[in-house]
Structure 1
Amino acid sequence: MMPHMRQNGGYYKMAESMQGLKRTNRCAEVGTADIGREVTVMGWVQKRRNLGSLIFVDLRDRSGLLQILFDENNIGTEGFEKASSLRSEYVIAVTGKIAKRSGAVNENLKTGDIEVIATDLRILSEAQTPPFPIEADSNTKEDLRLKYRYLDLRRPDIQANIMMRSRVATLTRAFLANEGFLEIETPMLCKSTPEGARDYLVPSRVHPGHFYALPQSPQLYKQLLMCSGYDRYMQIARCFRDEDLRADRQPEFTQIDMELSFVDIDDVIDVNERLLAYLFKEVLNVDVQLPIQRMTWQEAMDRFGSDKPDLRFGMELHDVSDVVKGCGFGVFTGAIENGGSVRGINAKGQGAMPRKKIDALVDFAKGYGAKGLAYIAINEDGTYKSSFAKFMTDDEMKALVTAMEGEPGDLLLFAADRNKIVWNVLGALRIELAGQMGLLDKNEYKFLWVTEFPQFEWSDEENRYVAMHHPFTMPMEEDLDKLDTDLGAVRAKAYDIVLNGTEIGGGSVRIHQEDVQERMFRALGFTNEEAHEKFGFLLDAFKYGVPPHAGLAYGLDRLVMLMAKCDSIRDVIAFPKVKDASCLMTEAPGTVDAKQLEELSLDIAAAEQDDK
């Protein structure tokens, strides 16, 4: 033990060594069964209370808190003086005997009925006062917490999230291994391919002017592994996408990735339903009812305005186009005449909502492409307040309210436009209202498979159809004839798994027939030469015998976020980025010196300065 000295009338501390000392237990891994046993525990000082003749310290490590009692009669004068010098976040080692708590029992603490009566104390490291309290449910601004993420990660709730994530990954590996999956790593330095988000590019030093791309997913490699006969593949895979961020997105993220040979949709769904049931039971002790409900993409959009509907509440969409097609309200009739629709949602019991809040909902809807939002507020006496009643007859209003299943006290909200806009607006409005009405219970888990997605979606930016998922997704067999005639009507053998309105995973049956793949590329506007230039290695592999195969990938971050009842994936990732894809702690991305750029044959173009 290193010496301690008095200096200027105070107590001068020097960091001590662990030499000869070994931790016997984590703080919260002892209990009443250990009373009378000598233990050595180590961790961070959460709080110190000096009562004069006694000093109490709450010691914290990743397992939880343990109360330490320092009594001069047990630890001696020097040890007691050291204990009196302890401050928040000091790192200490304590040896002593576990005893029944001398004071009141803390029923909120796992170790609330015991304490350690210290006989030895070593101060392993001192600490400055942290910039924010190390405590659960912190009110500190996120930017400050992320700047000092190494301190934020000490908070008990964040530690619980990170440990849950580790447990989910470990259990997943064990479950899939037992199902015959092989864990195989795929490259991080890949070839850049189109038909997806922007790639993160990595310049090559030995091939000047050439670039690798970081993988957006292991998609092509896992299909090649099926061509290679590995039958069932899995990987906890790091992926990268250079896209705008939001609460459930990061530029680098983690997938639970899998691919299976000689299977169809039902086989993939079966193994994944059993995986989800296993994870939720083992981690949360929640029973997932199997089989999980399935719903086609078209039904999901028509009923909920979303391909990832939240089933924890109702408030389904009503298509009232037929009811209002001949009415006098031009907004409704115009939308129908232009090939769109009129749909609404019934916010039960919200008929007395103030006009100011209704106007806020209108502004919210405009953010999703609406030109406006029509409404009917039904008073308790059955009369109406409406933004468009003057354009409708009494019979037309009654028919509309009946179609919406409106009752006294309800608020009916309508969107009229192209279907895509109407779905987007009402789908988002449905979730917004559910939040305001307290309908989103984080303790409830509602799973859903969404199937039969459109194979293609129209891109106004590129003025052509693009693959909704990726160009290797198999169309429904009964829609193959439409690949040459009606791309908008082709359905894909694709499936997403949705939990509480969040897509946590998605996959598809892959194309394994060369002629179907060629037709798919033609539909996407690729010539044979362009297809081989970009995907030649995969197409060549398909010439040597490829089994029917399918796969799925979960967003591990999103899955754990929901399991941990968090609002952001940043709370379940150890070192996340913020919305501009930067790291506040390390200040990445940063500049590099001229020599590094020269070695990579790169030159940075100076940004144009606006002198105005």
Structure 2
Amino acid sequence: MYRDTTCGALRASEINKEVLLSGWVHKLRDKGFVVWIDLRDRYGITQLVFDEERTSKELLEKARTIGRETVIQIKGQVIERASKNPNIPTGEIEVLVSELKVLNESILPPFTIEDETDGGEDIRMKYRYLDIRRNPVKDNLIFRHKVSMEVRKYLSDAGFIDVETPYLIKSTPEGARDFLVPSRMNEGQFYALPQSPQTFKQLLMVGGMDKYFQIVKCFRDEDLRADRQPEFTQIDCEMAFVEQEDILNTFEGLTKHLLKEIKGVAVNSFPRMTFDDAMKTYGNDKPDIRFGMQFGELNEVAQHKEFKVFNSAELVVGIAVPGANSYTRKEIDKLIDWVKRPQVGALGMVYCRCNDDGTFKSSVDKFYNQEDFAKWAEVTQANAGDLICVLSGDTNKVRAQLSALRMEMAERLGLRKADEYAPLWVIDFPLLELDEETGHYHAMHHPFTSPKPGQLELLDTDPGAVKANAYDLVLNGNEIGGGSIRIHDKETQAIMFKHLGFSIEEAKSQFGFLMDAFQYGAPPHGGIAFGLDRLVSILGGQETIRDFIAFPKNNSGRDVMIDAPAIIDDDQLKDLHLKLDL
């Protein structure tokens, strides 16, 4: 037996007890006549003591030679600590060591294993197994485990069955790029890694498994950023004999459960907002509603004068930034430079100060009068002391630009508080999106999403107007889950494939198995998938999902620890019937 307790368990009630501990040497302090070692495992730290009066000379000298991160085993007696440490649970005791055994020596780590480390992100990712020893990373992984267990508990108690679906599946043309896996036994043919278990969970509904869930790995070969990984984890769910309201109620319940059990927060309000209203009011389909700064459309009150910039714009829209009238002209100029960055793309910004005495001062004073500015303030719900920021241009572009400005100002003003939670359902998405480059429509969610009842006929006359029976769950400005009521009959699915540009032969080749299954009594069904990585990071009060993944990839999709992806040798290529010309 290597240990009979852990390094975070001992308390004053166990003084005089003989214990056996194992762990890593966190710190060593040598005062000559006494040596202290902080011994660490994932449960905490226990201070070990070796001194001239009570420790043999041989043992004291041995303790002095032990380096940081060496794995040791000790036997000793729990004693009262002379200089107590109220900052750790074991701070009232220490262990007087009588026996010491080195289990494995460590070379000097490339960075300090401390909460506040000297290691940069690149070096810590290369030695991720060392980084996991640090409390912030360790605690994040434990936190993820707690969230996963609460998800399993809630869904299992609600009658959902955990079913595994295949990882080696068929490549399909919809969505992001697939990761492909060559088949050795089937020359020239490839599996794909799943972007989601979508068709399999629908087949489970056909099979009568009316409540399915799975915490499952998914894969997308797409460009990366801080909140995106080539492999990610979904809480994947599907239900049969349900309408949209049934699914929304079920997963409101899951979200309430997680917030209550994980964060101790009771949230009862889950407002519903249509996609069109979200775009008009916040400029994006995943609005953060913890704060105001709602959009005010100013065309009617700003396009009646000789200001050509506004008169030529498809949309003039503004927000009232609370308290920002205190900004100096220099600070406002910096804000204008911020919106003109390539990442935002605005050509400029008009502003209007709302003074405490009820007057207004604007960058376009020569075109507008005080009565005009009062109407701007009314439309944007601006108060005295606020700053109205106005952008103009093409509707879709300017909404995205003002949305970015809104979020930036909220960040600067401290309005995006990590301990506040504001969930929101966004519903009634467009069924199809127009690709402006090709002129073709593609599915906004996926080709198995059902149109809203009564709108199927519009596909022939006005496909862009068709609304999807789809919904996204948004939390604090992040989409944490999305789903839809599915098409469950072959005829409707065939119509959908037709409008997405599939020939009859292509639809049969790619999805014939699903359409065949629909002929055998497929029930009405729908589902949702939560992004577990993002959900955990939001509940953990952080923005970056990598912080909650044990072994993440970097922004180039590389695992710098194991150096993957990597070149494979010619014999492996030959087995797979592949030849690379590099």
- Answer whether TM exceeds 0.5 for this pair: yes
What does residue range 297-336 of structure 1 map to in structure 2 within 5 Å?
Answer: 297-335=275-313
- The answer to whether the 8 Å contact 2:2/2:22 transfers is no
Name the counterpart of 1:144.
Answer: 123
Most deviating of 230-239 and 175-184: 175-184
Give secondary structure in 1 for the equivalent of 2:119: coil
Q: Tell me the residue number matched to 2:318.
A: 344
SS in 1 for 2:455: helix
Kept in 2, the 8 Å contact 1:259–1:551? The answer is: yes
Letter in 2 for 1:334: S
Q: Describe how 1:550-561 pairs up with structure 2 within 5 A.
A: 550-561=526-537
Match of 1:194 in 2: 173
| Contact preservation (8 Å) 2:259, 2:267 | no
2:2 is the alignment partner of 1:28? no
Q: Name 2:422's counterpart in structure 1.
A: 446
| Equivalent runs, 1:531-570 vs 2, <5 Å | 531-570=507-546
Deviates further, 518-527 or 490-499: 518-527
Shift of 1:62: 0.9
Q: Is the counterpart of residue 221 in structure 1 residue 195 in structure 2?
A: no
Contact 2:489/2:519 (8 A) holds in 1: no
Q: Report % sequence identity.
A: 47
* Cα offset, 1:299, TM superposition: 2.0
Q: What is the TM-score when the length of structure 2 is the normalising length?
A: 0.95
Structure 2 CA distance, aligned partners of 1:193 and 1:363? 43
Tell whether the 8 Å contact from 2:452 to 2:466 is kept in structure 1 after alignment: yes
Contact 2:172–2:510 under 8 Å retained in 1: yes
Which residue of structure 2 lines up, in the alignment, with residue 605 of structure 1? 581
Alignment partner, residue 65 of structure 1 = 45
In the alignment, residue 135 of structure 1 is paired with which amino acid? Answer: E
- 1:261 aligned residue (240, 260, 270): 240
The alignment yields a C-alpha RMSD, in angstroms, of 1.9
8 Å CA contact 1:75, 1:120 repeated in 2: no
SS at match of 1:278: helix
**2:77/2:96 contact within 8 Å kept:** yes
3-state SS of 1:479 partner: coil
1:4 alignment partner in structure 2 = none
Give the partner amino acid of 2:442.
V
Distance apart, 1:531 and its partner CA: 1.4
5+ residue gaps, structure 1, are: 1-20, 607-612
Alignment map for 1:410-421 (pairs within 5 Å): 410-421=386-397
Q: Paired residue for 1:94?
A: 74
Distance 1:418 1:407, change over 3 A: same
Q: Which residue identity does 1:511 align to in structure 2?
A: I
User: Contact 2:205–2:239 (CA<8 Å) still a contact in 1?
Assistant: yes
CA contact (8 A) 2:7 2:43 kept: yes
Name the structure 1 match of 2:218: 239
Q: Deviations over 1:524-558 (max 9, x none)?
A: 22222221121111111111110111111111111
Residue identity in the other structure for 1:561 = S
Identify the residue that residue 163 of structure 1 maps to in structure 2. 142
How many residue pairs get aligned? The number is: 580
CA offsets, 1:353-408, max 9 Å, x none? 24444344334434234333222234555555433332334433332233223344
Note the alpha carbon deviations across 1:171-229, whole angstroms, 9 max, x for none: 22222122211111111111111220111111122222221111101011111111111
Which segment drifts farther, 527-536 or 552-561? 527-536
2:498 equivalent in structure 1: 522
Higher mean C-alpha displacement, 326-335 vs 362-371: 362-371
Change (3 A) 1:33 1:375: same
Distance 2:276 2:61 in 1: 72
Is the Cα–Cα contact under 8 Å of residues 200 and 241 in structure 1 kept in the other structure? yes
Matched, 1:398 2:374: yes
Q: CA deviation at 1:420?
A: 1.4
After superposition, give the CA deviation of every residue in 1:90-113 in whole Å (9 maximum; x if it has no partner): 11112222233221x322212222
1:139 shift after superposition: 5.1
Provide the rounded CA distance (Å) in 2 between the counterparts of 1:194 and 1:94: 59
* Aligned residue in 2 for 1:47: 27
Q: Does the 8 Å CA contact 1:72/1:79 hold for their aligned counterparts?
A: no
Q: Structure 2: how far apart are the matches of 1:354 and 1:138?
A: 38
Cα distance 1:354–1:220, how it changes in 2: closer, same or farther (>3 A)? same
Measure, in 2, the Cα distance between the counterparts of 1:412 and 1:437: 15
Amino acid of the residue matched to residue 37 of structure 1? K
Q: CA deviation at 1:514?
A: 2.4
Question: For the structure 1 residues 78 and 509, does the alpha-carbon distance in structure 2 shift closer, same or farther, using more than 3 Å as the test?
Answer: same
User: What 5-or-longer segments of structure 2 have no aligned partner?
Assistant: none
- Scaled by the length of structure 1, the TM-score of the pair is 0.91
Give the distance between the partners of 1:212 and 1:362, measured in 2 at CA. 50
Are the aligned partners of 1:250 and 1:577 in contact in 2 as well (CA < 8 Å)? yes
Shift of residue 322 of structure 1? 1.8
Distance 1:190 1:362 in 2: 49
- What secondary structure is seen at the aligned counterpart in 2 of 1:314? coil
Hey, what's the Cα distance between the residues in 2 that align with 1:34 and 1:457? 67
Match of 2:563 in 1: 587
Deviations 1:229-258 (A, max 9, x none): 111111111111011111110001111111
Q: Mean Cα displacement is larger for which, 56-65 or 156-165?
A: 56-65
Partner deviation per Cα, 1:310-356 (whole Å, 9 max, x = no partner): 12211111112222232322222212xxxx32111111111232444
- Cα shift readout 1:544-576 (whole Å, capped 9, x = no counterpart): 110111111111111111122223111110111
Give the secondary-structure state (helix, strand or coil) at the position aligned to 1:390: coil
Q: 2:274 aligns with which of 288, 296, 299?
A: 296
- Assess if the C-alpha contact under 8 Å between 1:74 and 1:118 holds in 2: no
Secondary structure of the residue aligned to 1:389 is coil
User: Partner residue of 2:100?
Assistant: 121
Q: Distance in 2 between matches of 1:137 and 1:497?
A: 35
Give the distance between the partners of 2:324 and 2:289, measured in 1 at CA. 20
**In structure 2, do the counterparts of structure 1 residues 135 and 189 end up closer, same or farther at CA, with 3 Å as the change threshold?**
same
Kindly indicate whether residue 265 of structure 2 is the aligned counterpart of residue 287 of structure 1. Answer: yes
Residue 56 (str. 1) matches residue 30 (str. 2): no
Change (3 A) 1:209 1:372: farther
Query: Is the contact between residue 36 and residue 97 of structure 1 (CA under 8 Å) also seen in structure 2?
Result: yes
Deviates more, 1:235-244 or 1:64-73: 64-73
